[in-house]
Each structure stands twice: as C-alpha cells, then as structure tokens.
Amino acid sequence: MDKLRIKGGKPLNGTVDISGAKNAALPELCAALLTADPVTLENVPGLQDVSTMLKLIRNMGVTADRSATTPGTVHINAGSLSSPEAPYELVKTMRASVLALGPLLARFGEATVSLPGGCAIGSRPVDQHIKGMQAMGAEIVVEHGYMIAKLPQGPDGKRGRLKGCSITTDMVTVTGTENFMMAACLAEGETILENAAQEPEIGDLAEMLIKMGAKIEGHGTARIRIQGVESLHGCTHQVVADRIETGTFLCAVAATGGEVVLRHGRADHLDAVIELLIAAGAIITSGSGFIRIAANGRMQAQSFRTTEYPGFPTDMQAQFMALNSIAEGSAKVTETIFENRFMHVNEMVRLGAKIEIDGKFAVMEGVEKLSGATVMATDLRASASLVIAGLVAEGETTIERIYHLDRGYDQMEAKLRAIGADIERIKS
C-alpha cells in the first residue's frame, strides 16, 4: 500500500484549486439513474469513491465515462440500464452506494441493494431509508444481506409509482434526505421531508434535479417539499466545491503558517469552521470564488462541538484537532455524530500530542512542537489530520494506509507540494 512521507516545518504559500465535493458528486451520479436521457456532470473529483460509484452504475448496464478531453467531466447515460441491483462486492467498499435505492425504485419500481458493510467511524444504519421508502408504498424485505424493494404490480403486470407522503426521520440523515428527495421526484403527488438535512451538498443535488425537471422547494432548510412528475430529462450540472477539502487546507495553513488563496472555495459553506479559525488567530478574507487565509505565529486552542449543518461538521473534527494539538492553551472537543471518531487520537499521540479521551469528549493541551514518527490512517478524515500534524512536526513523518485519503482528497500531496510542503507519495 502507498505511503506518504512528510518533512515538517515549512510554511505554506501560494494558490490551491479546490476540487468538486465528493459528497455532492456521489448522489448526483445516482441521480443520473432517474432518466434515460444523457447527463453530464462537470467538476467531478478524481477520487476512489467516485471510481467505485462509476463502477457500480456501469455494473447495472449504464454508460458512464470520464471525458478524454475535459478533466473533471463525466458523461452518464442510464437509458441502457438493465440490472437495478447494487451487489455487495461494490457496496462493501463505499456506504454511499445506498443512494442507488431511491432512484432505482422510483424509475423501475424495483431495486436490490446490498446492505453496507461495517464502518470504522461508527454505526450508520439504513433503517431510516427503509422506513421512508415503505411510507412511499414500497414493499421491502431484508434477506441474505440485501434490501429487496418492489412496488406492487397492477392488473397489467406493470409496477406502479411511489406515492407522495410526509416523511419525518428519527434523526437528521444526509443520505436519507438525498434518497427520499430523488425518489420523490418521480412519485405520485407531493412529498414533504421533515427534519431534513441542510448540507450544501443536498442543495446542490436539488439544483441538479430541478435542472432535470423536478419540482423541489425548501432545500437548504429542515423542510423540503417535492411535487412528483412523471419523468425527468437530462442536464448538464457542475458539482459544487468541496467544503471539507477547503476546511482541511484552511486548518493546514493555520497550523503551518503562511498565506494561501483557495480558489473556488465557498466561505458561506464553512461559517462555523471559519469563525473558529478567526478566533484562533487566523486572518481570513473571502469573495466570489475564493478564500484567503494568512497565519503567523502560534494559534490559540479552541473548544468546539460537532453537530449537523450549519454547525461545526464532524468531517472537520480531526483536522481542527491537529491544529489544536500545537496551539497555545487547552481545548475540549465534543463529538456528537459518530461514536468512534477519535481513532486518530492514538496516532497523534505518537507524534507528541497531549490528548485524553473520555467517551465523546477529547481534552487537549497544546504543545509547542510535534515530533515526526510513523503513523497509520484509520479513516478518511483521520488521514487528513495526520497530514496536517506531519506538516508541522519536526523531522520526518510517514503515514501508512493512505488509501483512506484517496477516497476523499483529489491529489492532496500534489496540491500541498505546489504551495511549499515537503511531501511525497511512496509507491508500494
């Protein structure tokens, strides 16, 4: 397996182009299953999870190819879809595969989707997806590790359409909101999603669906209203910039010092993170299509609590903890979303960080310096936090199992190297 080697202590200066958001691209690839017309997605990041999703929909008989001439462009045509099934061999490597359930069920009246495998950062049950689809009229059984969903057949033997209804989830669920929104676009009547997730990626998906002919209101709020239509058509849509990649680079510059412009970054998608970085001592300005950060000297440690958007994102917890580890003072971090999302702590302690864990709380005492060592990535965002720690550690840091990093960051080491980091990938 590939590794990253980092020699720390260098400030970061220059410009970084932020890639398209993984968490928008994955549901939008599934949204293309809702129509037999061609769909073009632009600004699609070159990530392992995206490659897995493309492989999954190709396995269904869909044509899905990256443009040979325009980087980041993917052409999808689900007119030839012949097998509405997501097998375990593909689903096990990426939980977002469950997003195929809603589009397949809405368009074909049936879907067979494997239950996702275990997740390192905690339990993410699919029961909310099942309950919502059942409320819309689907008959779903779970057997042999698969969700088998079907709509009742009419006298002519054809399966009917999903029925609009009101769905209130027991918890805020991003993929659940996305699945229900996609399914409701082709349902009969009106669907109202209560307690809906409000992430920018959901708003971006809604904008794509509207381009396809969907009737959606309220996206970006906790109450989304969808009026079903009989069919959707193709469109061209640009994937929104990745706010988590943006936040990761902001934390990296705050930790190392320097000045960096993040092109395509959206400050309005990162209010909670930027507010905390400014409180820590970073200077941040922004405008249309860019965020600029300047940092000089040691930051001040900041306590925070992860929560659903628009609060502080759980996907930024590990990266900000890396910054806190070398900041001045102490801080308390409360993780409310995933029960196992402090697995990076043991690896950061190997680098010299002072962190104690008590259930969902982490208490940190900033140290003046970290010391390079060999560490192991345990999940996607944990790997990013170790990169940040390696950038500030004295000596050499080696990060193993970086396939986690490749799931969510497009050419991260190349982008860092371009702004002054001493970092290289060691091929296995």
**Hey, which bits of 139-222 come out as E strands?**
139-143, 146-150, 166-168, 190-194, 215-217
> 30, 119, 235, 251: which is the annotated catalytic residue?
119
**368: pLDDT strictly greater than 70:** yes
* 258-263/12-17 β-pairing: parallel
Given this model, what pLDDT does residue 425 score?
97
Residue corresponding to tokens 């400014």? 278
Token pair, residue 104, equals 């397949």
The greatest distance separating any two alpha carbons of the chain, rounded to the nearest whole angstrom, comes to 74
* 223-227/236-238 β-pairing: unpaired
44-75 per-position pLDDT tens digit: 999 999 999 999 999 999 999 999 999 999 99
The confidence band for 119, taking pLDDT boundaries of 50, 70 and 90, is very low
Given this model, what pLDDT does residue 108 score?
96
The confidence band for 177, taking pLDDT boundaries of 50, 70 and 90, is very high
Buried b (16+ CB within 10 A) or exposed e, 354-389: ebeeeebebebebeeebebbebbbbbbbbbbbbbbb
d(CA 261, CA 419): 10
What is the mean pLDDT of the segment spanning 131-157?
93
Token pair, residue 68, equals 């040979």
In the sheet that holds 330-334, the strands lie side by side as: 304-305, 330-334, 361-365, 354-358
Return the sign of the alpha-carbon dihedral for residues 307, 312, 315, 319.
negative
The confidence band for 94, taking pLDDT boundaries of 50, 70 and 90, is confident
Given this model, what pLDDT does residue 89 score?
87
Percent of the chain topping pLDDT 90: 87
The confidence band for 124, taking pLDDT boundaries of 50, 70 and 90, is low
- Provide φ and ψ at 48, rounded to 5°: -65, -40
Given this model, what pLDDT does residue 156 score?
87
- Provide φ and ψ at 344, rounded to 5°: -70, -15
**424: pLDDT strictly greater than 90:** yes
Q: ∠ CA 388-305-219 to the nearest 5 degrees?
A: 95
Given this model, what pLDDT does residue 118 score?
46
**Hey, which bits of 18-96 come out as E strands?**
38-42, 63-66, 74-77, 85-86
- Provide φ and ψ at 181, rounded to 5°: -65, -45
Q: Say if CB 363 and CB 387 are below 8 A apart.
A: no
What is the mean pLDDT of the segment spanning 138-146?
92
For 385, residues 6+ apart whose C-beta sits below 8 A from its C-beta are 318, 319, 321, 322, 344, 348
119 is catalytic: yes
The confidence band for 338, taking pLDDT boundaries of 50, 70 and 90, is confident
d(CA 310, CA 273): 10
3-class secondary-structure state, position 369: coil
Runs of H (alpha helix) within 114-270: 127-135, 174-184, 200-211, 243-256
Given this model, what pLDDT does residue 154 score?
85
207-239 per-position pLDDT tens digit: 999 999 999 999 999 999 999 999 999 999 999
279-297 per-position pLDDT tens digit: 999 999 999 999 999 999 9
Given this model, what pLDDT does residue 17 score?
98
Given this model, what pLDDT does residue 117 score?
59
What is the mean pLDDT of the segment spanning 127-140?
96
- Among residues 427, 339, 413, the alpha carbon closest in space to that of 383 is found at 413
d(CA 124, CA 142): 16
